[in-house]
């Protein structure tokens, strides 16, 4: 019988399993995909890594904590004398991060305390944006640029590989291609029915404690044990597109234009549907491949089993290409529609919460009783990667019943992401009541 079972081997589950294994716990992690992760919200090689926020901002805090935790992971792997040398640069690509705000958000922008952090953050209006940053922004907008070490992009694929390597070296187990069929609790023991997708054989795994970090599948996993989660988390699909300037047209750009393009990305526009773009592959001298999409252009899902293979809607891809062309125009890089090529696209899935905030918390069972031996880590909705090790460490604290750093920011983090005393963003279920 395993002491702690972690369900889900994406960034959240892997981060929690690593922190547990590093603290000496007996851990087994189940992941329904194969070892080479090819879908899910942790798929790919680029996520925006950013820490912009006002003083004591909880999302800036989780980013900064994750940087520290990854440094510890890297140090551990190198100390273990593995066959390869591990580096922070394997995971982070440091570059300026640009944010576009509407002028109506100026009161919030002032909280970023630019005067005290001039080296890290700076801002510009329409009149000064091109002089400062080489971007001509609309008159009703404000551009903020962040320059900090390890802000830029993060490689989820490489981070997952290192986390899994660390889990194994600490004695943890990882079972790939194992799908959860049922989770119930008999007395003090969790019983998890698991289907081995490779052999099609079913087994029941028992565990004293469980962390559910199954992303969009969290609701299904908890449908019997904590059915009220169907009211808290709703899976949504999001279209992503990979674009590039046609090689022939890119070769015609001036070096200063190529530099301006690279320095303008990653971009996160917090206007409307929140367009974002980042370089996911940058060949020497070749046109970079740019991942782009709309953070809030989310759609309902008919079938979670097949959504990964859905063809994106033409209008979605058209909108992304249009926003990217607008970005190039702000850089004074003028290209025609045919000069922007789509390299690839796919459908990603977010586990969206009612509050639009992540959940990292102990949960109530089907009888409305708080269970300290069951923790959910989910609902990241596209903001999880940059703070994954902080979320994972919090999940590990909750399941072990320990508090590593009981400071003010730690308490703020536990409250923001689901301290049990706030009843998980919903009314506490009465005993015997099923949602």
Is 68 domain-assigned? no
pLDDT, mean of residues 131-143: 93
pLDDT, mean of residues 104-127: 79
Is 85 domain-assigned? no
Last residue of a domain, one of 287, 321, 352: 352
Is 299 domain-assigned? yes
Last residue of a domain, one of 331, 352, 373: 352
> How crowded is residue 270: how many other Cβ atoms within 10 Å of its Cβ?
17
| Count of structural domains, the chain | 2
Last residue of a domain, one of 318, 352, 386: 352
Please give the residue range of the domain that contains residue 132: 97-151+235-352
Helix/strand/coil percent split, the chain, to 5: 35, 30, 35
- Max Cα distance, the chain (Å): 70
Query: In this structure, are 241 and 110 located in the same domain?
Result: yes
Query: In this structure, are 164 and 270 located in the same domain?
Result: no
Query: Percentage of the chain with pLDDT > 70?
Result: 94
Query: In this structure, are 109 and 223 located in the same domain?
Result: no
pLDDT in tens, 175-191: 999 999 999 999 999 99
d(CA 15, CA 330): 38
Closest to 217 (Cα-Cα) out of 184, 192, 163, 181: 181
The residues with which 251 forms a beta bridge, in sequence order, are none
Query: In this structure, are 20 and 163 located in the same domain?
Result: yes
**In the prediction, which pLDDT does 311 show?**
87
Measured N-to-C along each axis, helices 11-22 and 156-169 cross at an angle, to the nearest 10 degrees, of 30
Query: Percentage of the chain with pLDDT > 90?
Result: 68
pLDDT in tens, 303-355: 988 888 888 899 999 999 999 999 999 999 999 999 999 999 988 898 888 88
CATH code of the domain covering residue 257: 3.30.9.10
Q: Kindly tell me the sign of the dihedral angle through the C-alpha atoms of 120, 126, 131, 133.
A: positive
**In the prediction, which pLDDT does 41 show?**
78
Choice among 159-168, 246-255, 351-360 with the minimum mean pLDDT: 351-360
- H or E, element range at 63: helix 58-79
Query: In this structure, are 250 and 340 located in the same domain?
Result: yes
pLDDT in tens, 385-424: 999 999 999 999 999 998 766 788 998 998 889 854 444 4
Instruction: With a cut of 50, say whether residue 434 has pLDDT above it.
Output: no
Is 77 domain-assigned? no
CATH code of the domain covering residue 44: 3.50.50.60
**In the prediction, which pLDDT does 36 show?**
83
Query: In this structure, are 256 and 348 located in the same domain?
Result: yes
Residue 106 backbone zone (phi > 0: left; psi -120 to 50: alpha; other: beta) = alpha
Instruction: With a cut of 80, say whether residue 77 has pLDDT above it.
Output: yes
Query: In this structure, are 284 and 242 located in the same domain?
Result: yes
Is 167 domain-assigned? yes
């Amino acid at each position: 019988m395993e002491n702690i079972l972690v369900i889900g081997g994406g960034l959240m589950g892997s981060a929690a399993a690593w922190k547990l294994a590093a603290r000496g716990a007996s851990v087994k992690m189940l992941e329904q995909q194969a070892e080479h992760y090819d879908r899910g919200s942790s798929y790919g090689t680029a996520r925006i890594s950013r820490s912009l926020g006002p003083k004591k901002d909880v999302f800036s805090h989780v980013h900064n904590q994750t940087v520290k935790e990854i440094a510890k992971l890297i140090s551990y792997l190198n100390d273990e004398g593995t066959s390869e040398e591990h580096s922070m640069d394997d995971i982070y690509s440091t570059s300026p991060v640009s944010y576009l705000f509407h002028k109506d958000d100026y009161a919030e922008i002032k909280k970023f305390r630019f005067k005290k952090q001039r080296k890290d953050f700076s801002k510009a209006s329409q009149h000064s944006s091109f002089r400062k940053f080489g971007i001509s922004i609309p008159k009703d907008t404000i551009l903020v640029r962040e320059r900090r070490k390890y802000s830029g992009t993060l490689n989820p694929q490489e981070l997952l590989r290192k986390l899994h390597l660390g889990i194994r070296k600490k004695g943890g187990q990882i079972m790939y291609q194992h799908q959860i069929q049922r989770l119930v609790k008999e007395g003090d023991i969790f019983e998890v029915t698991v289907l081995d997708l490779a052999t099609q054989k079913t087994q029941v795994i028992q565990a004293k404690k469980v962390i559910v970090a199954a992303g969009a599948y969290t609701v299904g996993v908890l449908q019997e044990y904590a059915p009220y989660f169907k009211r808290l988390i709703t899976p949504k699909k999001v279209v992503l597109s990979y674009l590039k300037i046609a090689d022939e047209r890119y070769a015609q750009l001036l070096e200063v234009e190529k530099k301006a393009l690279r320095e303008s990305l990653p971009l996160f526009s917090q206007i409307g549907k929140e367009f974002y773009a980042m370089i996911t592959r940058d060949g020497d001298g070749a046109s970079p491949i740019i991942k782009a999409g709309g953070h809030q252009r989310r759609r309902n899902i008919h079938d979670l089993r097949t959504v990964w293979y859905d063809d994106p809607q033409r209008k979605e891809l058209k909108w992304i290409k249009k926003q990217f062309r607008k970005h190039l125009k702000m850089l004074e890089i003028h290209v025609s529609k045919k000069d922007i090529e789509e390299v690839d696209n796919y459908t990603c899935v977010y586990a969206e919460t009612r509050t639009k905030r992540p959940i990292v918390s102990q949960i109530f069972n089907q009888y409305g009783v708080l269970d300290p031996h069951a923790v959910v880590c989910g609902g990241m909705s596209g903001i999880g990667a940059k703070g994954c090790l902080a979320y994972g460490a919090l999940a590990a604290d909750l399941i072990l019943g320990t508090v590593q750093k009981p400071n003010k920011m730690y308490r703020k983090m536990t409250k923001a992401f689901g301290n049990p005393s706030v009843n998980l963003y919903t009314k506490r279920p009465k005993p015997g009541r099923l949602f």
